[in-house]
Structure 1
Amino acid sequence: MDVKTPEETGQEPGAEAGLQPFLHDSCITMHAPSFTASRPDGQLSHGADGFYHGERRALARLEISADRVLSAPVAGGLEGADRALFRTVLRGVAETTADPAVVLERRRTTAPGRLTESLRVLNSGRVPALIRLSVAAGTDLATMEQVKSGVPVASVAAEVEVTGSALVWAGDAVTVRLASSPAPTGIEAGARQGRLHYDIALAPGEDWKAELVCTAEDAEGEPFPAPATEGTPWRTPRLRSADRRFDDWLHQSHADLRRLLLADPDQREDVFLAAGAPWFATLFGRDSLWAARMLLPLGTDLAASTLRVLARRQGKKTDVRTQEQPGKILHEVRRAGLRLPGHSPALPPVYYGTVDATPLWITLLHDAWRWGLDPAEVEALLPHAESALAWMSDHGDADGDGFLEYIDESGRGLANQGWKDSGDSIRFRDGRLAEPPIALCEVQAYAYEAAHSGAALLRAFDRPGADRWEEWAARLKSRFHTAFWVEDDRGPYPAVALDRDKRPADAVTSGFGHLLGTGLLDYEESALLAKRLAGPDLDSGFGLRTLSSDSGGFNPLGYHIGSVWPHDTAIAVFGLTRAGFSEAATSLAAGLIRAAGAFDARLPELFGGYGTDAGRRPVPYPAACRPQAWAATSSVLVLQSLLGLSADVPNGTLTVASQVSADLRPLRASGLEIAGGPLEITVAADGTADVQAPAGLTVRVTP
């Protein structure tokens, strides 16, 4: 690999090579499978900045400046999920007073394979303005893996060519074209970089406009994943509450989710949500399943298509290298492999290294059925559900102890294969790392719920095996109580995992929230965990810390060892309401709403685990994806939880047990869906709920 200096690669001088680029101040516009990441002022200049298409950086640099003029960015940010607007004062130009006179406006739109920058220079001064505007553009055609590594790489592109009024770079995977309308005054090309020049003369009150269009043409045709067609497979939610931060969070989340949609090129009508930008803009089994489950109150179409996309790729054979096993649901699909730090070679493009996607697939099918998915669509997927159930006992429980566990037999894959999949995430209370095979506490809860969900489906559709899976779940519940529960000076609680020697790894974690409401715990056990989740060591005031601040190894900026993940907290809110602990649920929900307001309604993948006692705003995790699917869908799950929505369309009922706190009331939620029809719920200032649901459903409103 040809290592270049920061100056040669367009990196910011002094940038540290070999470090993952930070994103906390990036402005990211998204329309999967493309996105643009820039500085807050709109410049694409260093780090992870760029216009990306299909996990390849099409443009690494797009900087606009006025020759011999000091630029002063004054405003910039998102105008939607795929649009942004930036304004920069060109200081000293046409100024006769202390007031700025000339402003450069830069409007950005990102679309699949296309970046459009609409430029406007306006002279609001009283004298003419003469400006030479320059656009510097370049690319390295780096893969996402290369960008994330932080190591500057030599471009794999051919030398930039000038074609008419356009700059063109051609590589083996993608061809990039940057065109200008109108044509620039001058154009020049150097080694992998080019410049466009515009000589602009503006009388007082006049403006000048131009449009830059960058297109990325994929040499592979239409590989997986493919762009989704316009339209969304769910209703548009609308929320009006007493806290506009909640309303804005839901609104921005919906906009982001529309642009995270991708399609299966084998069946273009089947879509799913990409996990997040920039690092995970593809199919992830766990992420896509949780995101679809969280959106069920808006309709079942996304759940159905996500289930089909994953069923199409369900494991059929045993392959140590890919971790594929019969019945197993995959972890991720990428166009190329992914190299992990310290590992060689890369993960395969289709990788099955996940222990939880398979039970989550079963539960999503069950929950979609309960929300009104067409029984014919459910029935068509039941053979896949039976295969997934069989995987839990035949392969997921590798050593026959009755628990689902994982180990990377290849030595080249993910060391941890639950949602906390970083290598240092599973610990003992003193900070020691647990050694695999590892059985995670939340995965046992997923498996228990999946077994009961599968049994309900088998029985409802007159297929054999329901009794077997209910008995399997009962044995799991008994074993879990015996093997996982430990105790400290605050009382008993379940360990985060069992290690290779079946010792409980006794760290206190946010995993408690994933156990609640699944049926794995009784009421007394749930009450213990509800109290734990409300404690200051886990509840930061902005959401749940992944690891207790009292535990060894706690790091508020550790990926899974002290940070806050919105989806993790939302799952806890959901579990707490299902288990009957509304006070703890509403407190955690308030923390997420507080955090959403601090992040301009676009919650990131994760953020720092510093508490509200350490500052009024949450601290960004610098490399977090934003937008991120399950952080966005968390807004809907929190709304569902606070409204106390429980659907049972096969039996014709909908339960509404509002937990909406006084600071959110009055609240009106529309754009919801059940049984294919519209659902609207209003909670008055006094807490009473009014429900408008499709005819034929029995609505039970409980206090």
Structure 2
Amino acid sequence: MSDEAPPIRHGRQPLLNDALVVLQAPTQAWSAADGDVGAAPIHGVFHGDWRYVRALTLRVAGEPVEATGTARDAASAAFHGLARAIDDGTPDPRVLVERVRRVAPGALAEHVAVRNGLEHPVVAEIEVRVEVSIAELSTVKAGLPSPVALSWDGLRAGDGTRSVAIVAPGAEVERQGDAVVARWRLEVPPGGAAEAALELAIDDPSIVVGPAASRRIDELPASGDASLDRWAARAADDLRALLLDAGQGPFAAAGAPWFMTLFGRDSIIAARLLLPLSLELAEGTLRTLAARQGVVVDSATAEQPGKILHEVRQATFTMPGEGIVLPPVYYGTVDATPLWISLLHDAWRAGLPLQAVRELRPALEAALGWMRDHGSPDGSGFLKYVDETGTGLANQGWKDSGDSIRYRDGSIAEGPIALCEVQAQACQAAEGGAALLDAIGADGTEWRAWAEAMRERFRAAFWVERGGERYPAIALDGDGEPVDSKTSNMGQLLGTTLLSPEEEAHVASLLVAPTFASGWGLRTMSDDQGGYWPLSYHCGSVWPHDTGIVIEGMLRAGLVDEARILAAQLVRTADAFDGRLPELFAGLSTEESSSPVAYPASCRPQAWSAAAVVPVHAALTAG
């Protein structure tokens, strides 16, 4: 008999594309379009890294409400429907139900109004059922049915640390196991209305991030393009709802449902794209990450002195079936550190007081030092990564899935990996860091020389000629050889000072060609590569933030015409997604599909997808 433990069984990751979410970080509620919660695996009420409610259903006269439409913003939704069981049966509906859900940090309010257009009174028997099920977010993501055991005190249920309380004024309340059923008998006069309300209050003293005290993000000016302006308004609303604070000022949670926390790369990129709309967000993001900057070498967490973290969780975050186990504070990212430096530089250029730069000088010098002393462990001068634990992220750039770094024939590269865009980010960070040091009376000469040396190394090692085309490879592999697939990563070299103007123009011409530009946005991999698949997470899909970063780089490089081509494609896509661009979607072209095709597990709203509207707006309104 074997003593080996049985393999961990895992289900399927919940699909998200048909679900509706209302949120105000760090709380979110996922439901069907009619407002009922419970029919799909993603459904529930979440707070931080835990789900508290698995189902929340409404019945009127014993029947579901028949949905007629939904109006929503980021933090609330109004579900409209009919109660035909108590109507008069004529063709025109006369008894209407409006169900309004509002989410606030740690709270959800459900309000039900029955409106009677008949000439006689009706009695509406209202029932709201709440099924409490406290489970870790990671188990929900894995499709595992693993709620914790609950203890009840009246209408408050908890697991010994966290709890959820239910309040239903005026209702007859019954507990059925771990569910609470609230019932109201509403007498609705002719031409009148009657109402019922239920509230949830969540308490979790272990939560590591809280709601932002300030949720200010300015509006973009009207562009004259109705589709772009709708996207801009929806994006601003979503971004405000995603703001969090860990004690040093606001930052953007990466996205819903899985990333409602601090992510170094995501939060920095969102803040950088949003600089024209919020200097406060940039400063909050900088200070939050500086307060958690690495100070020691710890292979278990990938921490190193000066390194900016990847993510923060309430506890160890496990991904069953993927072999990934991440510690609560995890530093497994190669790009967050140079991106932090560039955010500080760009924020200073945008008006961040020099005093704030002086206060952040220790973090700046430590981050620059990390690039020099730890970022290139083999002494090649290229920033590289490798997971030393075997349970961390195999890839530690923005394309962090295990199969994202592929050769032209589709085979997967072995590490340590040096990504092309990370060298560009490091070059830009060195130039920006030099300017910051000069501004505060120090000397940036070392870092200008470092950036120039990076340009020379890159030009010698990364450019390849394949299939009659010359382009930068996505990466160098563990042997220092180019990983020669054509990917959108090359687009993130634009505007960073890594390339010459001629090289930038050449790369931009490749990116606006139909092999990359799908008509809906920029594919992550050119469709003529061996590893391409339109629904691959990182090898053929379209990520709006990726397209947005490339557009911004094109504008920095003076390539306005190319920027406008990609910007127009994202506006068309945003219109198709009702102004809420998802994390990613399929790389099918406009010739292959008349509308963008969802990647069904794509998160939304996603901070950097929403923030992509800023460079798009800049490109399309440039004089």
TM-score, normalising length from structure 2?
0.95
1:177 aligns with 2:165: yes
Give 1:204's match in structure 2, choosing from 190, 199, 213. 190
Give 1:189's match in structure 2, choosing from 167, 175, 182. 175
Instruction: State the AA in 1 paired with 2:555.
Output: T
Q: Distance in 2 between matches of 1:345 and 1:563?
A: 23
Structure 1 equivalent of residue 3 of structure 2: none
CA contact (8 A) 2:495 2:556 kept: yes
CA contact (8 A) 2:77 2:100 kept: yes
Q: Distance in 1 between matches of 2:537 and 2:483?
A: 19
CA contact (8 A) 1:89 1:102 kept: yes
Give 2:584's match in structure 1, choosing from 606, 627, 639. 606
Q: Distance in 1 between matches of 2:62 and 2:78?
A: 24
CA contact (8 A) 1:573 1:641 kept: yes
Structure 1 equivalent of residue 235 of structure 2: 253
Structure 2 equivalent of residue 588 of structure 1: 566
Structure 1 equivalent of residue 156 of structure 2: 168
Matches within 5 A, 1:284-295: 284-295=263-274
CA contact (8 A) 1:27 1:77 kept: no
1:225 aligns with 2:209: yes
SS in 2 for 1:19: coil
CA contact (8 A) 2:495 2:554 kept: yes
CA contact (8 A) 1:94 1:128 kept: no
Structure 2 equivalent of residue 64 of structure 1: 58
**Residue 544 of structure 1: how far off its partner (Å):** 0.6
CA contact (8 A) 1:496 1:507 kept: yes
Instruction: State the AA in 1 paired with 2:53.
Output: L
Structure 2 equivalent of residue 147 of structure 1: 140
TM-score, normalising length from structure 1?
0.85
CA contact (8 A) 2:324 2:393 kept: no
Q: Distance in 2 between matches of 1:375 and 1:365?
A: 11
Structure 1 equivalent of residue 201 of structure 2: 215
Structure 1, 337-346 or 280-289: larger mean CA deviation: 337-346
Q: Distance in 1 between matches of 2:281 and 2:458?
A: 33
Residues 297 and 238 from structure 1, CA distance in 2 versus in 1: closer, same or farther, beyond 3 angstroms? closer
Matches within 5 A, 1:496-507: 496-507=474-485
Matches within 5 A, 1:148-547: 148-158=141-151, 160=152, 163=154, 167-181=155-169, 183-184=170-171, 186-220=172-206, 223-232=207-216, 234=217, 236-265=218-247, 267=248, 270-342=249-321, 346-464=325-443, 466-547=444-525
Alpha-carbon displacement from aligned partner over 1:340-394 (angstroms, at most 9, x marks no partner): 3446673110000000000001111111111111011111112211111111121
Q: Distance in 2 between matches of 1:481 and 1:421?
A: 25
**Residue 17 of structure 1: how far off its partner (Å):** 7.0
Alpha-carbon displacement from aligned partner over 1:390-414 (angstroms, at most 9, x marks no partner): 1112110010111000000111100
Query: Where does the alignment leave 5 or more consecutive residues of structure 1 unmatched?
Result: 1-15, 644-657, 660-703
CA contact (8 A) 1:172 1:219 kept: no
Residues 68 and 225 from structure 1, CA distance in 2 versus in 1: closer, same or farther, beyond 3 angstroms? closer
Instruction: State the AA in 2 paired with 1:66.
Output: V
Matches within 5 A, 1:596-675: 596-643=574-621, 658-659=622-623
**Residue 274 of structure 1: how far off its partner (Å):** 0.8
Structure 1 equivalent of residue 34 of structure 2: 41
Instruction: State the AA in 2 paired with 1:226.
Output: G
Q: Distance in 2 between matches of 1:585 and 1:237?
A: 22
Q: Distance in 1 between matches of 2:462 and 2:358?
A: 36
Q: Distance in 2 between matches of 1:379 and 1:230?
A: 24
Instruction: State the AA in 2 paired with 1:440.
Output: L
**Residue 200 of structure 1: how far off its partner (Å):** 3.0
Q: Distance in 2 between matches of 1:393 and 1:30?
A: 41
Instruction: State the AA in 1 paired with 2:55.
Output: R
**Residue 614 of structure 1: how far off its partner (Å):** 1.9
Alpha-carbon displacement from aligned partner over 1:613-660 (angstroms, at most 9, x marks no partner): 1222211211222111111111123223445xxxxxxxxxxxxxx25x
Runs of 4+ in 1 over 6 A off after TM superposition: none
Instruction: State the AA in 1 paired with 2:341.
Output: I
Structure 2 equivalent of residue 7 of structure 1: none
Query: RMSD across aligned C-alpha pairs, in angstroms?
Result: 1.7
Instruction: State the AA in 1 paired with 2:388.
Output: E
Q: Distance in 1 between matches of 2:498 and 2:179?
A: 59
CA contact (8 A) 1:139 1:192 kept: yes
Q: Distance in 2 between matches of 1:361 and 1:641?
A: 24
SS in 2 for 1:346: strand
Name the count of aligned residue pairs: 614
CA contact (8 A) 1:426 1:505 kept: yes
SS in 1 for 2:575: helix
SS in 2 for 1:378: helix
Q: Distance in 2 between matches of 1:344 and 1:496?
A: 25
**Residue 92 of structure 1: how far off its partner (Å):** 4.3
CA contact (8 A) 1:318 1:324 kept: yes
Structure 1 equivalent of residue 5 of structure 2: none
Q: Distance in 2 between matches of 1:525 and 1:219?
A: 53
SS in 2 for 1:60: strand
**Residue 125 of structure 1: how far off its partner (Å):** 2.6
Instruction: State the AA in 1 paired with 2:159.
Output: G
Query: Where does the alignment leave 5 or more consecutive residues of structure 2 unmatched?
Result: 1-8
Structure 2 equivalent of residue 25 of structure 1: 18
Instruction: State the AA in 1 paired with 2:176.
Output: G
Instruction: State the AA in 2 paired with 1:512.
Output: M
Residues 377 and 140 from structure 1, CA distance in 2 versus in 1: closer, same or farther, beyond 3 angstroms? same
Q: Distance in 2 between matches of 1:538 and 1:627?
A: 25
Identity across aligned pairs (percent)?
A: 47
CA contact (8 A) 2:289 2:308 kept: yes
SS in 1 for 2:550: helix
Instruction: State the AA in 1 paired with 2:253.
Output: A
Residues 345 and 294 from structure 1, CA distance in 2 versus in 1: closer, same or farther, beyond 3 angstroms? closer
**Residue 321 of structure 1: how far off its partner (Å):** 0.3
Instruction: State the AA in 2 paired with 1:56.
Output: W
Structure 2 equivalent of residue 698 of structure 1: none
CA contact (8 A) 2:214 2:250 kept: no
**Residue 148 of structure 1: how far off its partner (Å):** 0.4
SS in 1 for 2:99: strand
SS in 2 for 1:511: helix
CA contact (8 A) 1:92 1:100 kept: no
Structure 1 equivalent of residue 4 of structure 2: none
CA contact (8 A) 1:96 1:126 kept: no
Structure 2 equivalent of residue 648 of structure 1: none
CA contact (8 A) 1:71 1:90 kept: yes
Q: Distance in 2 between matches of 1:296 and 1:641?
A: 15
Q: Distance in 2 between matches of 1:304 and 1:253?
A: 20
SS in 1 for 2:387: coil
**Residue 102 of structure 1: how far off its partner (Å):** 1.5
SS in 2 for 1:86: strand
Residues 495 and 373 from structure 1, CA distance in 2 versus in 1: closer, same or farther, beyond 3 angstroms? same
Q: Distance in 2 between matches of 1:228 and 1:473?
A: 36
Q: Distance in 2 between matches of 1:143 and 1:77?
A: 30
Residues 128 and 21 from structure 1, CA distance in 2 versus in 1: closer, same or farther, beyond 3 angstroms? same
Q: Distance in 1 between matches of 2:89 and 2:344?
A: 68
CA contact (8 A) 2:134 2:147 kept: no
Q: Distance in 1 between matches of 2:620 and 2:298?
A: 44
SS in 2 for 1:471: helix
SS in 2 for 1:30: strand
SS in 2 for 1:442: helix
CA contact (8 A) 1:34 1:110 kept: yes
